[in-house]
Amino acid sequence: MKRNIRSIAIIGGGPSGCALATLLKRKGFNVAVFYLEKRPEIIVGESLLPAIIPLLRKLGVEDEVKSYSTYKPGASVWVNKEEEATSPFSFGGGGLPPYAYNVPRLKFDKTIFDLAVREGVTFFNHVAKIEKTGNGDELKLAAETIDATGDYFKGQPDLIVDATGRSRTISRLLNIPTKEGERKDIAVFAHLSNAEKIEPYNIHLHRLEHGWTWRIPLPDRTSVGVVIDPKHLAKYGATREEQYDNILKTDETLVKFTQHAKRETGVVQYNNYQLISQKMYGTNWLLAGDAGGFLDPIFSSGLFLAIKSSFSACDAIMEGTDAAFKKYEKNQMHELYVWQKLVNTWYSGGLFTLMTVGKERMDTAFGRFIGPHMQRHLTRIFTGEAVYKNYSRGFLRFILGPMIRLMKVGRLHNRNISDLAIK
């Protein structure tokens, strides 16, 4: 059955909501976005994947993003204190651009917001209140919200899209079940000046004594974040500023990179960022972006998945059938699930093992045979292509399955994978 959708209320003015609003406006829908102007000082998700570049081109904003961002040619992972494995995106081959950008998020978010404004999207600087109608899972905008719009929709909108990110407005209202990741790590991060210079401007990922850290080179600062179990974080101080500053002063790896640095921002903290909603649409509503699910930031997939979900949501709304909405939900949940499996390889130590073995065994017959494949498809984890190419998915299943099991019994490697796991 095809739904009669012409008017759409989008709750949330972040990148996912504004990108969706732009796409829908271009298709002739009557769309309005509810948002608040207040934004955090800094926002997690500053490092982009090459997979997002085609989407930025379709939106028509890549040149603007490029103008204020840092060119990102690859990713560097420190296997241990002495070993670094670097993957230029060009090694991944495939159909994606061999680059991405590290973006100041406030500027990036404003770019997507301003695009929607230019496209003629209507904005209401107002908190949208959503209520149940009493008819199944059907929802409506509260009377005061309708009044605040001057009855813009001439009654109720045909569809309400939740793009409120981790606020998850509709999921909380309807008590939608979620699937959470097993880990309950906390991320704390800030922007530093005078940190050790990074060239080329890859994102750098390092293992720490407890947890891991990212370093993202921005045009005039470096974003440095620490992801750590809360029981370890609590040892560093009473406030998040104390905790962050003390980690940088005491961890051997972080001291090396930040000993001369100055913190230029407050410290932002994110908790429990591995969650997937088990229902993403209903009678007259849809979840988009982080409101439907979000993951650990290790592979920089956050903004890509948020913007990509907007394109997928637009396709479903355009088709307007129950089958299209069901397909949207299935694809979103599967996509998040596959990315989560890749995240798990980071914490289990499997990814480190493969990188180490790849370097050690490249001069063997086996290494010469499988090495180029490993390089290409491991790189595609960092470009975003590994999730979407059937061969890449199959190859990664093999090297992260049977090969890892062989390594555990020492046939290919004499180090235990558990020794490489993120604690």
User: How far is residue 131's CA from residue 267's CA, in Å, rounded to a whole number?
Assistant: 35
Question: What confidence score (pLDDT) does residue 412 get?
Answer: 47
Query: Domain map of the chain by residue range?
Result: 7-69+104-179+274-341, 186-271, 344-420
Torsion (CA) 419, 245, 165, 20 in degrees, nearest 10? -100
| Dihedrals phi, psi of 169, to nearest 5 degrees | -55, -50
- The amino acid sitting at 353 is T
Closest CA to 286 of 405, 146, 130: 130
Residues 6 or more apart from 354 whose CB is under 8 A from it? 374, 378, 399, 400, 403, 404
- The amino acid sitting at 98 is P
User: How far is residue 294's CA from residue 272's CA, in Å, rounded to a whole number?
Assistant: 10
User: How far is residue 115's CA from residue 19's CA, in Å, rounded to a whole number?
Assistant: 8
User: How far is residue 274's CA from residue 262's CA, in Å, rounded to a whole number?
Assistant: 31
Question: What confidence score (pLDDT) does residue 404 get?
Answer: 55
Tell me: cis bond preceding 15? Omega within 30 of 0 counts: no
Q: Which one-letter DSSP state was computed for residue 94?
A: T
384, two tokens: 């975003």
User: How far is residue 189's CA from residue 46's CA, in Å, rounded to a whole number?
Assistant: 11
Please state which architecture CATH assigns to domain 7-69+104-179+274-341. Answer: 3-Layer(bba) Sandwich (3.50)
- pLDDT (tens, 9 = 90+) of the chain, 423 residues, equals 678 899 999 999 999 999 999 999 999 999 999 999 877 889 989 999 999 999 999 999 999 999 999 999 999 988 777 778 888 999 888 889 999 999 999 999 999 999 999 999 999 999 999 999 999 999 999 999 999 999 999 999 999 999 999 999 999 999 999 998 888 889 999 999 999 988 888 999 998 888 999 999 999 999 999 999 999 999 999 999 999 999 999 999 899 999 999 999 999 998 866 899 999 999 999 999 999 999 988 889 999 999 999 999 999 999 999 999 999 999 999 999 988 888 888 887 777 766 665 555 555 555 555 556 667 767 888 888 877 777 766 766 666 666 555 554 444 444 554 556 776
| Dihedrals phi, psi of 162, to nearest 5 degrees | -90, 110
No. of H helices and E strands in the chain?
15, 20
Name the fold adopted by 186-271.
D-Amino Acid Oxidase; Chain A, domain 2 (3.30.9)
Query: Phi/psi zone of residue 237: left (φ > 0), alpha (ψ -120 to 50 degrees), beta?
Result: left
pTM for this predicted structure: 0.91
| Dihedrals phi, psi of 137, to nearest 5 degrees | -100, 15
| Residue that the structure tokens 């994110």 belong to | 270
297, two tokens: 């930031």
Question: What confidence score (pLDDT) does residue 272 get?
Answer: 64
What is the radius of gyration, based on Cα positions, of the chain? 22
The three-state secondary structure class of 318 is helix
Give me the residues paired with residue 180 across strands. 275
